[in-house]
Structure 1
């Protein structure tokens, strides 16, 4: 594939990318604010949340702020909360593993280290999918910080996670969401009812619950599909079901890990068929709209130059140090995390994606994608119900 006219456009400045609002209104700030309100030592509220004795966080995978507002007829309950709620930002990349780690630890990606969908394991020569893990990587070594749930439990708060039984023993749950009691419930209705019961049974409680089906519908059918809209309606009914069961002195926060955008086939650039983009690259990490690009030794500068020339008018293309300096991964990037980040990091501004049809056939076939810092991907709801 030949790319023409590389000098005919202005390359985007990575410093101009809308980096997440870490410490001032990001997903990582939610549980620390809740914990501070519950009296858990060591936490500061960077979000202005009124304290409550019983708190439930309901996280809906893939339910962006803009997507809720587009569909008031399918999400009437959630839209009734929008006026009193606000948008906060996911971290970068706006992807599930990164966001769930930020929620559970209260830390930005540069600290917890799950800084992408797939990341290189430094010195190992292979990628690790942060959702599926790798048997040779110790979870606690990869993410050593305690979770907010662990610290709340130690402080005497009755703490639980209500989710699919399939997630009870996963490495991601272990490093991001563990602490207190895990209650496996299969259906969304069972999770809502169990979360409400947990709050009612304890005077000082923190409960987290989660559904993933909206994200699955978006990936398979796209967010501009009847399947996705009907699943949004199901989520809306689940949120209402939980809200109507809240015991006294409770607060419910409905949020998400990222939004989503549909990318047309003609707007997908196939890395596996593109000799320019693939030259000098040893590993291609991340996902279609948020790529970590790992260069062969000595080729990082050349890879950055080519990716900037080919994609720099449509993606924010940065070196590792430029992305860190621009605050994409938070105010701090710990030493153990530094080399997990690509030599080059590319985040889509326009409606495009860099897929890899041979390396990532499943991901490359998805209709709805996410990962970058555009509002439809990055902004997630913080909706509140009190009793």
Structure 2
């Protein structure tokens, strides 16, 4: 187990690399030179985010078109969750800077689900969604340099709180059918001087619901692999497609899904594979002693969210300790009690490593 790479081999560095190429400057370190060299020069970049497609999942029989264009593996940001890593891409900064440091995020008075933006009682939270992440974000910095950003995402995400948090600027282009996604992306990429962000959530949904051995997972792998192949085949000469993911997945059998009732004074949040702990640590240690987890002190987590120091409100959202679930284990607790087939959030290679895919005419 190690902290993610934020110096040149991570998702944040890929975002920074594209920003530097499009506007000539960056706020985080770009990719290491050997990784940057795998991406040809272009005047428009199509960044494809395959939700839940870890690098090790490219061994799937239906992932051939993706595997063919794999150049390397990158590290997702911690925790290896969608909202954390989409915020990293949207800002080109690590969680220690942008502050959305976990899926279940601790506010001063409650824990908030950052996909749906309600608390653990199911009540919506009053948040300035458009102002939640630091300004300017990457699309705003690109816009100031004359570079347009387009966001191609499912219709159901349009106007949602999460979409407002992530994509407060840029041109939104929703799609209702997956078959519309690539044509929309190619239309946006037809002009030079653009960043086109294409979000494909299909693999993640199937992995959560049915697991990586299921027919539905294979079907969704074929769908996204075909989308990548179609995108690569249709790119104009000035455009480069770069594919990656926000995290990978691990399957957890029913017997590995452990339900925990925290003792009084202990707050559990974060996710299922890396449970964050705040409050009464003496009681929390007693609880953890009977669980299939590794106890991690806050002092051992330096660098997990990015370079120190952790800035501003992000620092107040961090835990006092964490429970890293053993292999084949997921932890459930109040507010995080829905059992799934697939999980993520931890620091195993399956969850941390995401692919770097590149295609160009």
TM-score by length of structure 2 reads 0.91
Change (3 A) 1:79 1:284: same
The CA distance in 1 between the partners of 2:331 and 2:203, in whole Å, is 23
Structure 2 runs not aligned, ≥5 long:
119-124
Indicate if the aligned counterparts of 1:304 and 1:319 stay in contact, CA closer than 8 A. Answer: no
> Cα distance, 1:154 vs. partner?
1.7
State how far apart, in whole Å, the 2-side matches of 1:95 and 1:379 are: 12
**Count, aligned residues:** 348
1:329 maps to 2:268: no
| Matching residue within 355, 358, 365 for 2:332 | 355
After TM superposition, the structure 1 = structure 2 runs for residues 146-225 of structure 1, keeping only pairs within 5 Å, are 146-200=136-190, 202-225=191-214
Aligned pair partner of 1:370 in 334, 344, 351: 344
Greater gyration radius = 1
Say if 1:147 and 1:175, in contact at 8 Å, map to a contact too: no
Q: CA deviation at 1:237?
A: 0.5
Deviation, structure 1 residue 140:
4.7
Deviations 1:311-361 (A, max 9, x none): 5xx5442233432x2x111113113111211222222352211113x6433
Q: Is the 8 A contact 2:130 2:168 kept in 1?
A: no
Return closer, same or farther for 1:165/1:93 CA change in 2, 3 Å cut-off. Answer: same
Report whether the alignment pairs 1:237 with 2:214. Answer: no
Q: Assess, with a 3 A threshold, how the Cα gap between structure 1 residues 76 and 62 changes in structure 2: closer, same or farther.
A: same
Query: Does 2:31 correspond to 1:46?
Result: yes
Summarize deviations over 1:53-89 as a string: whole Å, max 9, x none. Answer: 11000111111110112x1x3111111112xx11001
Task: Check if 1:121 corresponds to 2:97.
Answer: no
With the length of structure 1 as denominator, give the TM-score of the two structures.
0.85
231-240 vs 39-48, which moves further? 39-48
Partners of 2:126 and 2:148 lie apart in 1 by: 34
Structure 1 moving runs of 4+ over 4 Å: none
Structure 1 residue 170 displacement after superposition:
2.5
What residue number does 2:122 align with? Answer: none
Shift of 1:46: 2.6
Unaligned runs of 5+ in 1: 1-16, 273-277
Identify the residue that residue 319 of structure 2 maps to in structure 1.
342
